[in-house]
Chain A
Amino acid sequence: MKLRNLIACLMLGLVLLAPNFARQAEAQSVQVSMPKIKFTDRTLPNGMRVLSAVDNSSPTVAIQVWYHVGSKDDPAGRSGFAHLFEHIMFKATKNMKSEMMDRLTEDVGGFNNAFTNPDVTVYFEVVPSNYLETLLWAEADRLSGLTVDEPNFKSERSVVQEEFRQSYVAPPYGMLEYLIEQQSFTSHPYKRATIGSIEDLDAASLEDVRAFHKTYYRPDNATLVVAGDFDPKQLNAWIDKYLAPIPKPFAALPRVGIKEPERKAERRITHSAANVPLPAIAFTYLTPPERNADAEPLRIAATILAEGESSRLYRSLIYDQQVAQSADAVPDLREDAGLFYFQVVLAGGKKPEEGERALLAEIKKMQDAPVSAAELDKAKNQLVTNELRQRETSNGKALALGSAAVLLGDPNRVNTDLGKLQAVTAADVQRVMKKYFTDANRLVITYLPEPAKAAVGQNRVGGEDQ
Chain B
Amino acid sequence: MKRFTLPNRSAIELLLVSAFVLAPVVINGQTPQATPPPPAQPRSVKFPQPVEKRLTNGLRVIVIERAGAPLVAGQFLVRNGAESDPIELAGLSNMVADLITKGTQKRSATEIAEAVEALGGSLDSSARWDSSRVGVNVISSKIGPALEILSDVVRRPTFKEDEIERLRQQTIDDLTVELGEPSAIAQYVASRVVFGDTPYGKPLSGTTESIRLINRNHIVQFHGRYYQPDNAILVLGGDIKPENAFRLAQQYFGDWERPRNVVPPVAAAKLDTSRGPRVIVVDKPDAGQAAVLVARAGITRRDADFFTGLVANSVLSGYSGRLNQEIRIKRGLSYGAGSTLDARRDVGPFSASAQTKNLSAALVADLLMKEVTRLSTEPVPDLEMVPRKAVVSGNFARNLETAAGLVSQVGSLALHGIQFEEINRYLGNVQSITAVDLQRFAAARLGAKETNIIIVGNAKEFLPELRKLYTQVEVIPVAELDLNTALLRKKQPTN
- Interface positions of A (Cβ within 8 A of B): 2-4, 6-7, 19, 21, 24-26, 28-32, 34-35, 57-60, 83, 86-87, 90, 94-95, 99, 102-104, 106-117, 126-134, 137-138, 140-141, 144, 154-159, 161-163, 165-167, 169-172, 194-195, 229, 241-242, 245, 274-278, 307-311, 314-315, 318-319, 322, 325, 345, 347-348, 374, 377-378, 381-382, 384-386, 388-389, 391-393, 456, 459-466
Contacts and interface: CB of A to CB of B under 8 A. Distances in A.
B441 to A, nearest CB: 22
Contacts of B181: 170-172
B334 interface: yes
A382 B166 contact: no
B319 A102 contact: yes
B231 to A, nearest CB: 27
B413 to A, nearest CB: 20
B473 A141 contact: no
Q: Which of B37, B41, B145, B390 has the most CB of A within 10 A?
A: B37
Interface in B132-178: 137-142, 144-145, 166, 169-170, 172-174, 176-177
A159 B328 contact: yes
A87 B336 CA distance: 13
Given A137-B32, A310-B113, A325 B170 contact: yes
B212 interface: no
Contact of B117 (A28, A87, A382, A384): A382
What are the 8 A-B residue pairs with the smallest beta carbon separation, nearest first? Answer: A109-B394, A158-B332, A169-B288, A385-B120, A107-B387, A172-B180, A274-B286, A128-B14
Contacts of B5: 2-3, 6, 113
B283 A461 contact: yes
B221 interface: no
B287 A28 contact: no
A26 B118 CA distance: 10
B127 interface: no
Contacts of B474: 464-466
B19 interface: yes
A6 B1 contact: yes
A103 B141 CA distance: 42
B489 to A, nearest CB: 9
Contacts of B329: 99, 155
B43 A130 contact: yes
Interface stretch (B63-71, B188-196, B372-380, B445-453): B63-71
Contact of B288 (A137, A170, A464): A170
Interface in B312-335: 318-320, 328-335
B225 interface: no
B110 A319 contact: yes
A30 B117 CA distance: 17
B415 interface: no
Interface string B89-130: 000000000000100000001100110011111100000000
Contacts of B463: 461-462
B224 interface: no
Q: Which of B113, B173, B331, B459 has the most CB of A within 10 A?
A: B173
A162 B142 CA distance: 44
B393 interface: yes
Given A106-B391, A245-B31, A277-B177, A381 B355 contact: no
B39 interface: yes
Contact of A155 (B331, B335, B387, B479): B331
B320 A385 contact: no
A18 B169 CA distance: 40
B44 A318 contact: no
A388 B120 CA distance: 11
Interface string B329-373: 111111100000000000000000001110000000000000000
B38 interface: yes
Contact of B4 (A3, A102, A195): A3
Interface in B384-408: 386-387, 390-391, 393-394, 397-398, 401-404
B473 A108 contact: no
B3 A154 contact: no
Contacts of A460: 283, 477
Interface string B36-78: 1111111111000000000000000000000111110000000
A388 B467 contact: no
A360 B67 CA distance: 46
28 contacts: A6-B5, A34-B70, A57-B67, A59-B44, A83-B1, A90-B3, A95-B32, A104-B21, A106-B394, A108-B390, A108-B394, A109-B13, A113-B5, A126-B12, A128-B15, A128-B394, A140-B32, A165-B288, A167-B335, A170-B182, A275-B286, A309-B117, A310-B113, A319-B166, A348-B172, A459-B285, A461-B477, A462-B463
A245 B33 CA distance: 12
A322 B4 contact: no
B9 interface: yes
B219 interface: no
Contacts of B334: 159, 162, 166
B208 to A, nearest CB: 10
Interface in B220-270: none
B416 interface: no
B357 A172 contact: no
B1 A115 contact: yes
A156 B284 CA distance: 27
Interface residues of B, number: 113
Nearest to A158: B332
A240 B140 CA distance: 41
A261 B156 CA distance: 56
Nearest to A394: B401
Contact of B332 (A155, A377, A388): A155
Contact of A319 (B109, B287, B333): B109
B436 interface: no
Contact of B180 (A117, A277, A322, A466): A277
B469 interface: no
Contacts of B467: 465
A7 B1 contact: yes
Contact of A137 (B17, B33, B355): B33
A26 to B, nearest CB: 6
Contact of A325 (B174, B286, B331): B174
A81 to B, nearest CB: 13
B35 interface: yes
Nearest to B330: A155
A163 B3 CA distance: 9
Contacts of A157: 332
Contacts of A384: 120, 139
B80 interface: no
B320 A114 contact: no
A462 B459 contact: yes
A60 B176 contact: no
A404 to B, nearest CB: 18
Contact of A172 (B37, B169, B177, B459): B177
A449 to B, nearest CB: 10
Given A4-B1, A392-B402, A462-B459, A325 B173 contact: yes
Nearest to A307: B117
Given A104-B19, A322-B169, 15 more contacts: A28-B141, A32-B70, A59-B45, A94-B34, A107-B387, A126-B398, A134-B22, A155-B329, A245-B31, A275-B286, A277-B179, A309-B117, A347-B170, A392-B68, A461-B460
A259 to B, nearest CB: 26
B357 A109 contact: no
A109 B31 contact: no
B207 interface: no
Contact of A309 (B113, B141, B176): B113
B39 A130 contact: yes
B443 interface: no
Given A308-B117, A319-B109, A378-B114, A463 B320 contact: no
B308 interface: no
Contacts of A111: 9, 12, 319, 394, 398
B472 interface: yes
